[in-house]
Amino acid sequence: MNSVPHQSRSNLSRLWWIALALVLATAALAAASLWQQRRDALQNKTRELGLLSLALTDELSRGLQGVEEGMGALRAELLETRLPLQGGEATHALRTRADLMPLVRTLWLVGSDGHLLTVSDKTLMPELASFTPALDQLSDDAVAVSRPFTDHVTNDSLVALASRFQSAGTRGWVLAAMPAGSLLGAFPAATPAADARMAVFRSDGVRLAVSVPDAPKLDEASVAQRLATSQSLELRRFRDGSEHLVALHGLSRYGLKVMLTRDLDVLLAGWRQAAQLTAASLALVLAVMLASMVFVLRAERRRTQAQQALQAQLARSSKLESLGALAGGVAHDFNNVLAAIVGFGEMAQDAAAPGSAQARHLDKVLQAALRGRALVEHILVFGRSGARQAIVFELEPIVQEVLDLLAAALPPGVVLERRLEAQGARVRGDPTKAYEAVLNLCTNALQAMPGGGMLSVGLDALHVPQMRVLSHSQLHEGEYLALSVSDQGTGISAPAMERLFEPFFTTRGAGGGTGLGLAVVHGVMAEFSGAIDVQSPPGQGARFVLYFAQSADALDPLAPSLAVAPRGAGQALLVLDDEPDLLVMAKEMLAGLGYEPVCTSDPMQALKMLSEQPPRFAAVITDEVMPGMNGTELTRKLRLFAPDLPVLLVSGYGGALLAARAASAGVTTVLTKPLQRAELARTLAQLMA
């Protein structure tokens, strides 16, 4: 008896030793991880700084090329003597061209003897000796860069470019001054951090521009040596003792170097904090690990529960599908029985004397048969076997109609809250069944609140980005209309939740209902390719949400109804059914309606008759489920030689799938068994029209 506790203690001891080993391993891993993080941090920051340096160097290169191109255009004008060298016209021309060059503030023309020929404004010319390479050694296609000099008017720091020109025997240099800050390009806007610095140097170490005036400085000789020998990315100690990450990239044509620096202490500040936190937290690792074990166990338990819930949902779905298949098969056979009862009952009623006991008895028989038909229709809806054709319609008016009906006769103490926000949204299916599903949910909600409460009904358009697992089904990705019905009743117990949508299951006593309401809702949502979610916290009422798949198709027109069905005019109708009694009934009923019925139970014989005498028959009435060949297959073969012959498919089994299959085969109309004579007469009249 003590083996289990002993085993538990042994397992606990083993877990403690494992935890201790994990603590030591964690400490070693933490130290290794911290060094790895330091290296990774430096690598990442180095990569970022290198990319930024490349981008800024490229930007500077393009800016200087633009200035050089502008100077080249000016030199071409001077060479072609289209531009004067001196005088007011020359000054105006230089000012115009300086305005057209984005970075250039001032242009000078200087003769080879060093005298100023003309200038675009009053800015003083830089010293010619400040240029590198020296101007007297400058080749025709080269560019020289000056030291920074000050504009005495604005006190701005300027840098000038110089290139040779020739015009009408006169030689000299074109000087173009630009703000030194423009060499920094987009760095002030793209600065990655406050410690980042940018500077532009000449190859001789002269600093032309710097992003922060008090940035760490190197003497020009030291900079020149580094520019000649250093790598593009390196760690460097400055004169003040601080370490910096340095990125260097050069512009060989202009003899410039772009330097970006980051303070190493700032770069590694986060890493140092992480190292301190890691060191401080090692003492708490054991507790954290124990807590983690608890959390893992709880997560595993939740995962197991979720898996069990999903398995239970699949089991419920499988059970409901099996019940639906069974119910559909039984209902189909029962429909054939009801079809004979209704058909022969109506003909017997015609033969009975009005007001006689026989007529009254036959009325009761037909009423009972029609109640049986309604019950079978509910079963067929649950089994998704109602032979109905789907149309595209707006859902909100259907819901509004149900709520208007309920609002007229609300029980005392019940308040109806409606929130319909899906105007114009469409779905594909049977609007009658949608009406029935909404009415059933609302009726159930009212019955759950005998003492009063609030009935809340909402309709919203909803986009589902990924598959969801609901309480009783799965919701796939797509566009939906979410219809929610909430009550303030006592809620739904767990055992009842398991059997909620089973046919004939009810928690009410005798006379409280057939137990088909929610089963019908389940079948309707299956036909609408939708889903159902039910939430019922203990004692807080229930909330049902129906998800209808939206349709982007155009609305279908409503078929006109005939108040009085006209009789036939002797048209020949070919009737197929594998039930002999139904053939006898159909023959008498159709003859009584003024048609000439030709009946057969053999689909092959029917095809032969139609192919031999296609003009003889005005329409074909066929059952769907027949041995050898079903009604849709018969229609498909019939369409090969009689594409316009009306075909009326009659079935009590098949559902939305049958409607789609019948439409693709070329069936004109689908009706549900058992048929009433008036319904059949109206349908035939529409077909004959």
Q: What's residue 164's pLDDT?
A: 93
Cα 80 to Cα 98: distance, rounded to the nearest angstrom: 19
Q: Say what the pLDDT of residue 300 is.
A: 63
Pick the CATH number of 388-549 from 3.30.565.10, 2.40.50.100, 3.40.50.1370, 3.40.30.10: 3.30.565.10
Question: Which stretches within 191-250 are classed as H helix?
Answer: 220-229
Average confidence (pLDDT) over 433-454: 85
Q: Most confidently modeled of 223-227, 437-441, 501-505?
A: 437-441
Task: List the domain boundaries for the chain.
Answer: 43-267, 388-549, 572-688
Helices and strands: H and E segment counts in the chain: 17, 25
Is 50 exceeded by the pLDDT of residue 2? no
Which H or E run includes 623? strand 617-623
Evaluate if residue 511 carries a pLDDT over 50: no
Q: What is the pTM of this model?
A: 0.40
How many Å apart are CA 438 and CA 480, to the nearest integer? 16
CA–CA gap between residue 30 and residue 278 (Å, rounded): 7
Q: Give me the count of residues in the chain.
A: 689
Residue 1: pLDDT band (50, 70, 90) is very low
Q: Does residue 382 have a pLDDT over 50?
A: no
The closest of 444, 446, 439 to 414, measured between CA atoms, is 446
User: What mean pLDDT comes out for the span 460-469?
Assistant: 87
pLDDT for res 176 = 94
Classify residue 254 by its DSSP letter.
T
The CATH classification number of 572-688 equals 3.40.50.2300
Position 221 pLDDT exceeds 60: no
Q: In this predicted model, which residue has the larger pLDDT, 430 or 400?
A: 400
State the DSSP H helix or E strand holding residue 599, giving kind and residue range, or none if neither.
strand 596-600
Q: Strand 144-145 and strand 106-111: pairing?
A: unpaired
What pLDDT shows up at residue 4? Answer: 43
Band the pLDDT of 108: cuts 50, 70, 90.
very high
Phi, psi of 384 (to 5 degrees): 55, 40
Query: Is the pLDDT score of 560 beyond 50?
Result: no
In this predicted structure, the answer to whether residue 532 has a pLDDT above a threshold of 50 is yes
Q: Is the dihedral angle over the CA atoms 419, 420, 422, 423 positive or is it negative?
A: negative
Q: How confident is the model at residue 145 (pLDDT cuts 50, 70, 90)?
A: very high
The pLDDT of 133-147, averaged and rounded, is 91
Rounded to an integer, what is the distance from CA 533 to the centroid of its chain?
A: 21
What's the rounded mean pLDDT across residues 184-200? 79
- CA distances 287 to 16, 38, 159, 177, 296, Å, are 11, 27, 64, 68, 14
CATH architecture of structural domain 43-267: 2-Layer Sandwich (3.30)
Percent of the chain beyond pLDDT 90? 11
Over residues 89-112, the mean pLDDT reads 90
Contacts of 457 by beta carbon, 8 Å cutoff, 6+ apart: 399, 403, 416, 417, 418, 419, 420, 442, 483, 484, 485, 486
Contact between 426 and 555 (Cβ < 8 Å)? yes
Per-residue pLDDT at 157 exceeds 70: yes
Decide: residue 348, CB within 10 A, 0-12 exposed, 13-18 middle, 19+ buried: middle
Lowest pLDDT segment from 145-159, 177-191, 366-380, 649-663: 366-380
pLDDT band for position 384 (cuts 50, 70, 90): very low
The CA radius of gyration of the chain, in Å to the nearest whole number, is 46
Q: Say whether pLDDT at 262 is over 90.
A: no
As a whole number, mean pLDDT of residues 57-63 equals 90
Helices (H), 383-457: 395-407, 431-447
pLDDT at 452 over 50: yes
Among the ranges given (41-55, 162-176, 277-291), the one the predictor scored with the smallest mean pLDDT: 277-291
Tell me the pLDDT tens digit for each residue of 565-574. Answer: 567 788 888 8
260 touches 53 (CB < 8 A): yes
Query: Around Cβ 656, how many Cβ atoms within 10 Å?
Result: 22
Percent of the chain with pLDDT over 70: 73
pLDDT exceeds 80 at position 233? no
SS3 state of residue 577: coil
Question: What confidence tens digit (pLDDT) does each residue in 311-352 have?
Answer: 665 655 555 555 555 555 555 555 666 666 766 666 676 667
pLDDT at 213: 66
- Compute the mean pLDDT over every residue in the chain, rounded to the nearest whole number: 78
pLDDT of residue 368: 64
Q: How confident is the model at residue 295 (pLDDT cuts 50, 70, 90)?
A: low
Question: Lowest-confidence range among 90-99, 452-461, 619-628?
Answer: 619-628
CA distances (Å), origin 121, targets 100, 163, 331: 14, 19, 101
C-alpha–C-alpha distance, residues 176 and 74, integer Å: 11
Q: Residue type for 455, please? A: L
**159 pLDDT above the threshold of 90:** yes
Amino acid identity at 425 = A
For range 651-677, the mean pLDDT:
74
Rounded to an integer, the average pLDDT of 89-104 is 89
Q: Which is more confidently placed, 6 or 243?
A: 243
pLDDT of residue 80: 87
Is the pLDDT score of 284 beyond 90?
no
The model's confidence at residue 376, banded by pLDDT at 50, 70 and 90, is: low
Dist CA 198 CA 618 (whole Å): 93
In angstroms, rounded to a whole number, what is the distance separating the alpha carbons of residues 642 and 143?
90
Please check whether the two domains, 43-267 and 572-688, share a CATH topology: no
Look at residue 177 and tell me whether its pLDDT is greater than 90.
yes
For residue 4, what are its two tokens?
A: 């289990």
Tell me what pLDDT residue 175 has. Answer: 94
- Whether 138 shows a pLDDT value over 70: the answer reads yes
| Highest averaged pLDDT of the listed ranges 150-164, 249-263, 366-380 | 150-164
Q: Report pLDDT for 126.
A: 93
In angstroms, the CA 63 to CA 51 distance is 18
Q: Which pLDDT band holds residue 26 (cuts at 50, 70, 90)?
A: confident
Range in 196-205, 370-379, 400-409, 632-641 with the lowest mean pLDDT: 370-379
Average pLDDT of the residues in 593-604: 86
CA 334 to chain CA mean position, Å: 46
Residue 122 pLDDT exceeds 50: yes
CA distance 542 to 410: 19
